[in-house]
Amino acid sequence: MTAPFLSLDAITRRFEPRLILGDRIAARLGARVENRPVRAVTEVSLEIAKGETLGLVGESGCGKSTLGRVVAGILPPTSGTVLIDGKPVIEHGRKVTTRVQTVFQDPYASLDPRMRIGDIVAEGPIAHGLASKADAPGYVRDWLSRVGLDPDFAGRYPHQFSGGQRQRVAIARALAMQPDLLVCDEPVASLDVSIQAQIINLFLELRRELGITCLFISHDLRVVRHVSDRVAIMYLGRIVEIGATEAIYRDPQHPYTRALLGSVPKLVLEDDELVRFETISGEIPSPLAPPPGCTFHPRCPVAVEACRREVPVLFDDSDGRMVACHVRAMERAAMTKEGSA
């Protein structure tokens, strides 16, 4: 990998249960809950090179959207730093750069229904001096046409558009800020499959044209494989495996990655009859009470005693791939020993 453009150093983000549950529920559950913060993200360090797309995948509730919001400067980390080109994204709890922009899952919720889309796209660039009020109409028309929308639609309101068109507006709004890094959080999850393909193709075209760096968050493994140069697998707030996309999809090393890739819906047939869909056993544990040691151990088919006691740390497995697993670390050590014998 070339020099990092985005660097995350030991990012941890906790939430107080009182803020998540609301005062009344927290009070009913008592001091036990109030005193136990939820760790949504724990000690995540990673880097993204300029122009690279890193896919971030994991089950719902694994912390990937929280991490995306920290990278985008929307949520300050509880500890750790996010740097773009060596400069902080957040200082004193506030976002201090426009170099990161975000595209969210639900374009309808993220677009103000009372504003015309031309004003939605123009608002940020005018506020940050990227376009003057006089130039804004032309600037907006240019961005609308770059995302495949008729520039004459600038006077319409969000409810006058389809879901796919609204996501194009959201992309235009983000890119009109001329960001260096785009955080896409489940950008196609709420769209019909046929529209998903159009938006993904638009994303790929714009990325090629603008050379933009991207953190692409999704639970959809097929979409992530299609758009990402590298992929990071997240489980209960930690990165458990990270490396080149094709290497991970062809030969996953962490037991969770294997289980996740193995659970992409596919039929298990016997004598041409549907027997079952393959699934990951068990459920993702509550971040309020994560298991000790490796948090995947209650679901892991190859767990050993050390897994119940010690948190595995990421180690360099091979070819730049990092894996956090005791058993894989033992296998790798045995292979190295054999090779040097």
Q: Give the residues lining the site for ligand SF4 (CB under 6 A).
A: 254-256, 294, 296-297, 300, 302-303, 307, 312, 325-327
CA dist., res. 72 & res. 84, Å (int):
11
CA dist., res. 133 & res. 11, Å (int):
39
Are the beta carbons of 322 and 241 closer than 8 angstroms? Answer: yes
Which CB atom, from 53 or from 295, has the smaller least distance to ligand SF4? 295
In SS3 terms, 232-247 reads as: EEEECCEEEEEEEHHH
Which CB atom, from 62 or from 325, has the smaller least distance to ligand SF4? 325
Taking the complex as a whole, the smallest distance from the CB of residue 59 to ligand SF4 amounts, in Å, to 15
> Which residue reads 């962490």 in tokens?
254
What are the Cα distances from residue 220, in Å, to 45, 189, 312?
Answer: 23, 8, 26
∠ Cα 29 237 253 (to 5°): 140
Which CB atom, from 17 or from 243, has the smaller least distance to ligand SF4? 243
Residues across the chain: 341
∠ Cα 84 87 208 (to 5°): 25
CA 234 to chain centre: 9
Which CB atom, from 118 or from 255, has the smaller least distance to ligand SF4? 255
Q: Is 197 helix (H, G, I), strand (E, B) or coil?
A: helix
Q: Is 72 helix (H, G, I), strand (E, B) or coil?
A: coil
Which CB atom, from 111 or from 233, has the smaller least distance to ligand SF4? 233
CA dist., res. 125 & res. 173, Å (int):
9
DSSP assignment, residue 212?
Answer: -
> Which residue reads 């660097």 in tokens?
7
Are the beta carbons of 241 and 321 closer than 8 angstroms? Answer: yes
Taking the complex as a whole, the smallest distance from the CB of residue 144 to ligand SF4 amounts, in Å, to 47
